[in-house]
Structure 1
Amino acid sequence: MSDSFHARLAQLQALGRSPEALATAEALAAELARQGQPLRAITVCRVLQQFEPAHLSTPRLLADLYAKPDAAAPGAPALPRVPLFSLLPREPFMALLGVLEPRSYQPGQSLIVEGEPGRSSFVLVEGRVDVVRKLDGGETRTLSSLGEGEFFGEIALVSESPRLASVVATQPVVALELHRTKVERVSFRHSVVGETVQAFYRERLLANVLRSHPVFASLAPEQREALAPIFERRTVEAGRVIIAQGQKGDGLYLLLQGQCTPVLRRHDGQETAFSPLREGDVFGEISLLLGQPASATVRADTPCQVLRMGREPFEQYLASQPKVRAALMRVGTERLLQHSKVLASGRAVHEGDQRV
């Protein structure tokens, strides 16, 4: 991390409400914003607003530079876009900026703890963190390392389900935290914020699955980008069967929101439930791969939002790829082995998975 920025931020916070501190913070935020460092500028802006809540000139400057350009305005400035925020028009941009909370962490401190209810998401301003998940045997695995500009924990913007992994600082970290309840309050006044957050979450989760899941990881980035629009969004009522054991699968599913449970029905009529599927889990690939009836039933425990890729595009865009075909065979074999052992707990953990 840049020690000069971290030290300067700490100095500003120590100076408090003095006129010198306010003037220095305003000048620093403007300088960073015009240099194309929006996250640092936003962090300084929020420190400034903590001391002077009525301060508006810096948020207005940031919105002018980084909010979604007005369709009637001339060409947008040649500055980097800020994920999520630059999708918003000027006023909603300023409203969402106003609920961000600057946070600092030292190496070894946890920003997110696996198993705790998810209530907020983060974006890294500086430093690095590891995404760490516990395995069935109790040991832990580092799935990925995230750096400046990375978002994580966005599942918490749409669901209070337990965290799927821990996030631990490996360097001194400055982050911006965004609480779901505050986003909901902003969305009540600016509906475009809620719509944009939902779309942002959906795209991030799908991109994570396409990047980390063994079925898709062998694809080139441009191939994964071409796949994303093929998934269609569906709403599933609680209690509805999405995939029925014994019937031919109609598609591959990605669970966006809610919870489903796979159930295996034995020949003697007894049923065994697998561990529940939650946000970001993929199912339905075995039937597509093998061209055989589904090996288990998947039923929605709660109202769910899913992304679905139908059989035809699945075969057209995936099965024709040799590397993808091999990955499908590997994943399908693993799933069938799980079914044969009738596992009632445990989840697939893939390298590069950033779901928290």
Structure 2
Amino acid sequence: MSDSLHQEVTRLLSLGRTSEALASGEAVATDWARRGQALRAIALCRVLLQLEPAHTGTPQLLADLYSRPPKPPRGAAPAPAAEALPRVPLFSQLDRESFMAVLGTLELRTYQPGQNLITQGEPGRSTFLLVEGQVDVTRQLEGNERRTIASLKDGDFFGEIALMSESPRMATVVATQLSLALELSRTRLERVAMKHPAVTETVRTFYRERLLANVLRSNPVFTALTPEQRQALSGIFELKMVGAGQVIIDQGQKGDGLYLLLHGQCTPLFRHPDGKQTAFPSLREGDVFGEISLLLGQPATATVRAETPTHLLRLGRDAFEQYLASQPRVRAALMRLGTERLLHISKLLSGRAVLEGDQRV
């Protein structure tokens, strides 16, 4: 038996809708699943369902092995520990029935070298899980310069913003070798959620944790945190989505939380006594804002407005104060960030009569 998914798919499809194909494919998928190769097993399961839509053996096995186990009844002894298997992003957060329902919506796609899986600027309608192969993530910058920003391999998720909204793709993803990927459509997922409402919250949690993990890894404010501390922090942030033109922080109002910008673009605006406004450099993915108002306990002295449909994570005032009490290094990093912003904003407003602190967000 080969561990190549592409070879196995080709072999099964050549056998056609026969009992031999189903029996052989189920045996291979079972072996892969029990050896921890869940993604290959899930992908092969999709081929089996293509050959025989009524096939249930493999989906049930995968759900038993990889879905979230049910909570034991109150007072009952915990179930004996199962053999440790690797968690599958998103799928291992679903209960058994939801797991099987979502599995039924997946499409297995094959991409030749040089073929785009995602194209920058196009509306996002689905997310992908790379099962086999390699892809590059490239972004077209100003001046038509194209830059490779990441290379992804087996097991990597990408395009997850499309699970929450039809935002334009921020980058192009192109296969650099023969690649097989599982595609999960937002439309199909929404249909599943109508019958399995828990899927909606599971997807939101997955999305929030994925994007927050990226922000925390790259943002200098949180580099001092251990992976365990970052994981704990992800559980207290609230996912918030706002439309273009919506005000997130209003000048003169009490700051209500610390914000992390996950997706989109926001503009800070300072309103002068005569009503005129000064726009400051845009905030983009990964930026933090709202920290100075919280740290100093003052009303926000600038407005932050979403320029595009925007996804944010918000840490409310009470949670912010409780969390920072145990993280002095994060508090210090936020204070440094705020001080740098104040100096920068002061330069932008030089020559104007602005009271100290009036630039703070």
Normalized against structure 1, the TM-score is what?
0.79
- AA at the equivalent of 1:148: D
1:262 aligned onto 2:267: yes
> 2:280, 2:189 → 1: CA distance?
34
Q: Secondary structure in 1 aligned to 2:260? A: strand
Q: Secondary structure in 1 aligned to 2:214? A: helix
> 1:108, 1:334 → 2: CA distance?
47
The aligned residue for residue 303 of structure 2 is 297
- 1:114-129 matched pairs, under 5 angstroms: 114-129=120-135
Q: Judging changes above 3 Å, is the alpha-carbon distance between structure 1 residues 153 and 331 closer, same or farther for their aligned structure 2 residues? A: farther
Q: Secondary structure in 2 aligned to 1:168? A: strand
> Displacement, 1:139?
1.3
User: Which moves more between the two structures, 38-47 or 192-201?
Assistant: 192-201
User: Cα deviation per residue 1:128-181 (whole Å; 9 max; x = unaligned)?
Assistant: 222222222321232222222121111111101111122222232111000001
User: Which moves more between the two structures, 208-217 or 79-88?
Assistant: 208-217
> 1:252, 1:63 → 2: CA distance?
38
> 2:168, 2:323 → 1: CA distance?
31
Q: Secondary structure in 2 aligned to 1:44? A: helix
Q: Judging changes above 3 Å, is the alpha-carbon distance between structure 1 residues 305 and 144 closer, same or farther for their aligned structure 2 residues? A: closer
> 2:42, 2:291 → 1: CA distance?
46
- 1:273-292 matched pairs, under 5 angstroms: 282-284=287-289, 287=292
> 1:24, 1:228 → 2: CA distance?
42
- 1:234-245 matched pairs, under 5 angstroms: 241-245=247-251
User: Cα deviation per residue 1:46-76 (whole Å; 9 max; x = unaligned)?
Assistant: 0011111111111111111112223345433
Q: Secondary structure in 2 aligned to 1:176? A: strand
> 1:43, 1:188 → 2: CA distance?
24
The partner residue of 1:145 within 147, 151, 161 is 151
Q: Judging changes above 3 Å, is the alpha-carbon distance between structure 1 residues 22 and 171 closer, same or farther for their aligned structure 2 residues? A: same
The aligned residue for residue 11 of structure 1 is 11
Q: Secondary structure in 2 aligned to 1:320? A: helix
* Contact residue 218 and residue 323 of structure 1 kept, 8 A: no
Structure whose alpha-carbon radius of gyration is higher: 2
Q: Judging changes above 3 Å, is the alpha-carbon distance between structure 1 residues 308 and 301 closer, same or farther for their aligned structure 2 residues? A: same
The aligned residue for residue 355 of structure 2 is none
The aligned residue for residue 209 of structure 1 is 215
> 1:109, 1:271 → 2: CA distance?
46
> Displacement, 1:253?
0.8
Q: Secondary structure in 1 aligned to 2:33? A: helix
User: Which moves more between the two structures, 298-307 or 224-233?
Assistant: 298-307
- AA at the equivalent of 1:129: V
Q: Secondary structure in 2 aligned to 1:108? A: coil
- AA at the equivalent of 1:17: R
> 1:12, 1:217 → 2: CA distance?
47
Would you say how many aligned residue pairs link Structure 1 and Structure 2?
338
User: Cα deviation per residue 1:20-45 (whole Å; 9 max; x = unaligned)?
Assistant: 32222111111111111111001111
- AA at the equivalent of 2:156: E
Q: Judging changes above 3 Å, is the alpha-carbon distance between structure 1 residues 238 and 6 closer, same or farther for their aligned structure 2 residues? A: closer
The partner residue of 1:222 within 201, 225, 228 is 228
How many percent identity over aligned positions? 58
> 1:76, 1:148 → 2: CA distance?
25
The aligned residue for residue 156 of structure 1 is 162
Q: Secondary structure in 2 aligned to 1:252? A: strand
* Contact residue 255 and residue 294 of structure 2 kept, 8 A: no
Structure 1: unaligned runs, 5 residues or longer: 341-356
Normalized against structure 2, the TM-score is what?
0.78
* Contact residue 12 and residue 21 of structure 1 kept, 8 A: yes
Q: Judging changes above 3 Å, is the alpha-carbon distance between structure 1 residues 332 and 141 closer, same or farther for their aligned structure 2 residues? A: farther
The aligned residue for residue 92 of structure 1 is 98
1:69 aligned onto 2:69: yes
C-alpha root-mean-square deviation of aligned residues, in Å? 3.7
The partner residue of 1:198 within 181, 193, 204 is 204
